[in-house]
Structure 1
Amino acid sequence: MQQGYVAVLWVLAVLVVETTALGECELAHLLQHKLQYEMHLQYMKHYFPIGYTVQVQYKEVLRPSNITCLRNRTVSEMALQYLWLHVSSQAVLRIHEVLPEKHPSWKYTQELCQLFDALGKEYSKYWQTDVEVVVADLVKLIHSAGMESRRKAVHPKALLDNCLKVMRMLYRAPCWWEST
């Protein structure tokens, strides 16, 4: 039993180390695998007290309907991916920050943060100039001091549900994955 556990940990460690050499689709696929329903159900619902919520700004909850509205406003896919990456990485970071290091979900959220960081590095060369005004304004709005009072309580699992749904919307076509 312990040998199998050690082997899984070794594979995860190798994957995290190699993420700096992976491309956009490979990193998105690793995130999709890490965000599988069973995993985030276990780590974000079963390991938390019933009714536990995290305080996030209203604009930090990115749903598929938000993406559809922005697509209707002809926002580019690259800009939508930037918005998704920014909002989702902030949501995971907020969850990670409230967890004590010995919490069963701490390592899981740390691994998600590392994957988001690696994906952000992959895109950084494009985003410095190509972020559209609408998306740049949304990101600024999230970071503005005036939004601090507009917070809402969201279940950690709901944040990751939205993260996964939006990711599948944005990456399925360019990366040719199944929605399993």
Structure 2
Amino acid sequence: MRRGYAAVLCVLAVMGLEAAALGECEITQLLQDKLQYEMRLQYMKHYFPLDYTVQVQYEEVLRPSNITRLRNGTVSEAALRYLWFHVSSQALLRIRQVLPEKHPSWKYTQELCRLFDALGREYGAYRQTDVDVVVADLVKQVHSAGAERRRKAVRPKALLDNCLKVMRMLFGRPCECPGSGRGAPRAQGPAQR
């Protein structure tokens, strides 16, 4: 049996039939590889001016504490992954909006966008009416362009740090497969201390 099929079968066995969409785990593993501490540090901090920030909506900052609060409010894991996808991809677009094409971080963010596009195809079957009301409302707020929305200044690296932390929180268990050598990624770098 080919390795890719074995990993998919293992994921399905571990999670039962409530498995993440096919390809979701593989894409998030690729994202994990691209979001390594050294890469985030280089592309999102060192290549930006000192203390550089991006203006984002408050809803575009998704932290593990937000996920914990929503879990305690009985929001489904699938809905939380859907929310993470929308918030993280929007935060990445905010970063890209400030980058000229010749910026050293342009290609890196372009690769991240491709991975989020692939993940978006996995979530293409979801509609906001299919997810919890609170998540659907948050997704609407993230994608609204209202001028009256509250804004917050956030460092680009902090946005990707949050993206990775929440991704590990949401995909660690569903995407780990005992004995496969792939699973919940271990913490890397000082950001994880």
Q: TM-score, normalised by structure 2?
A: 0.78
Counterpart in the other structure of 1:34: 34
1: CA distance, partners of 2:42 / 2:134: 36
Deviation at 1:97, TM superposition (A): 1.4
Counterpart in the other structure of 1:89: 89
Counterpart in the other structure of 2:160: 160
2: CA distance, partners of 1:115 / 1:148: 31
1:178 aligns with 2:184: yes
Counterpart in the other structure of 2:55: 55
Counterpart in the other structure of 1:124: 124
Deviation at 1:179, TM superposition (A): 2.2
**Greater share of helix residues, 1 or 2?**
1
Give structure 1 regions of 4+ aligned residues with deviation exceeding 3 angstroms. Answer: 126-129, 143-149
Render the CA deviation track for 1:70-114: whole Å, top value 9, x for unaligned.
000010011000100000000001101110111000000011011
Deviation at 1:129, TM superposition (A): 4.8
Counterpart in the other structure of 2:114: 114
Deviation at 1:136, TM superposition (A): 0.3
Q: Residue 67 of structure 1 contacts residue 80 of structure 1 at CA under 8 Å; is this kept in 2?
A: yes
Secondary structure, in 3 states, of the residue corresponding to 2:124? helix
2: CA distance, partners of 1:121 / 1:148: 31
1:105 aligns with 2:111: no
Q: How many residues align?
A: 159
Instruction: Call closer, same or farther: CA 1:125–1:143 in 2, change over 3 Å.
Output: closer
Render the CA deviation track for 1:40-86: whole Å, top value 9, x for unaligned.
11100010000100000011100000000000001001100010000
Q: Residue 44 of structure 1 contacts residue 156 of structure 1 at CA under 8 Å; is this kept in 2?
A: yes
2: CA distance, partners of 1:175 / 1:127: 23
1:134 aligns with 2:140: no
Residue type matched to 2:168 in 1?
R
Counterpart in the other structure of 2:72: 72
1: CA distance, partners of 2:105 / 2:80: 28
Q: TM-score, normalised by structure 1?
A: 0.84
Render the CA deviation track for 1:95-149: whole Å, top value 9, x for unaligned.
0111011100000001101100100101211446521111001112223455644
Secondary structure, in 3 states, of the residue corresponding to 2:125? helix
Counterpart in the other structure of 2:45: 45
Q: Percent identity, aligned pairs only?
A: 78
1: CA distance, partners of 2:49 / 2:145: 30
Farther off after superposition, 138-147 or 97-106: 138-147
Residue type matched to 2:116 in 1?
F
Secondary structure, in 3 states, of the residue corresponding to 2:160? helix
2: CA distance, partners of 1:124 / 1:81: 13
Gaps of 5+ in 2: 1-21, 177-182, 187-193
